[in-house]
Amino acid sequence: MRRRLALIALTAFILLPLTQAVILSFTVTLPTDGRDLGSFGLMNYAYVLTTPELQSAILNSLAYVTLNVGLCLACGLPAAYALARFRFVGDRHFLLLILVFRVTPPVVLSLPIFIIFARLGLVNSPVGIALVHALFNLPVAIWILESFIRAVPRELDETAFLDGHSGTGFFFRHLIPAIAPGIGVAAFFCFVFSWIEVVFARILTVTAGKPITVAISAMFGFQTDIGAVMAMTCLSFLPALVLIVLMRNHLAKGYVLRA
């Protein structure tokens, strides 16, 4: 009974702010022509989806997050396989080193990264944000994938190569299906870290290419339309919810395997 009450209390504590945000997203919080204060409707969502700046922010976020996840998986899989299957001097220290780099505060590297990206013409572009996010998310992807690959018996590799599979064929036909839960976990974390990141998103988008996090921050002003802000915030939840629904089986298997 106590556990149920504690679970109910925890659920209410978590869902209460979200419920309030959803209600406010359908509420007129700033009186304008033709809209009464406190009335309900889809006007806030209509405003968000018809405002060019907010539309662009949503598309920019989807673009750089997708590119970031793709880069992390494309580069992380071969690196994780090398760390899991081959031995070299300092291999374990190398894995620890890249993890230490991941926990480095982003603000420490913000100035040199901005200077380098400005010279390369990657400022004010979703591509620039995707590259810098991949730089920080790649260590996490390698660490997750390496543990899953290590759990796969080496006999799978030997059998595949004896059957005449090339390295590419082995990866796509045998290894990737075997570690699909790990790929799901890695993709999920890379997505979340990139989707909610603010420091580099703000620094690298001075005049254009702003993502959804920066757009939400820019909506606050002297007279903030809280309803519109909450509508934009609720829309920002949707990609993560869709990803969780689509990958819930892989995520559950991945956590069980890592445990």
Domains annotated for the chain, with CATH where assigned, are 52-258 (1.10.3720.10)
Query: Which pLDDT score is estimated for 102?
Result: 76
pLDDT band at 248 (very low <50, low <70, confident <90, very high): low
| Per-residue pLDDT tens digits for 93-112 | 777 787 777 777 888 888 88
| Per-residue pLDDT tens digits for 18-68 | 888 888 888 888 777 667 777 787 888 888 888 888 888 888 888 889 999
Query: Which pLDDT score is estimated for 70?
Result: 92
Q: What is the mean pLDDT of residues 117-145?
A: 88
* Average confidence score pLDDT of the chain: 82
Query: Which pLDDT score is estimated for 249?
Result: 66
SS3 content of the chain, % helix, strand, coil (to 5): 80, 0, 20
Question: Please, which residues have CB within 8 angstroms of residue 79's CB and are 6 or more apart in sequence?
Answer: 138, 142
Q: What is the mean pLDDT of residues 241-258?
A: 65
Distance CA 183, CA 228 (A): 36
Q: What is the mean pLDDT of residues 237-248?
A: 79
Amino acid present at 183: I
* Range with lowest mean pLDDT among 116-120, 154-158, 174-178: 154-158
250 pLDDT above the threshold of 70 = no
Residues 206 and 219: beta-carbon distance below 8 Å: no
| Per-residue pLDDT tens digits for 180-216 | 888 888 888 889 888 888 888 888 887 777 888 888 8
Residues 114 and 203: beta-carbon distance below 8 Å: yes
The pTM (predicted TM-score) of the whole model is 0.82
Query: Which pLDDT score is estimated for 252?
Result: 57
| Per-residue pLDDT tens digits for 211-235 | 888 888 888 877 788 888 888 988 8
- Which candidate, 90, 162, 113, 131, places its Cα nearest to that of 170? 162
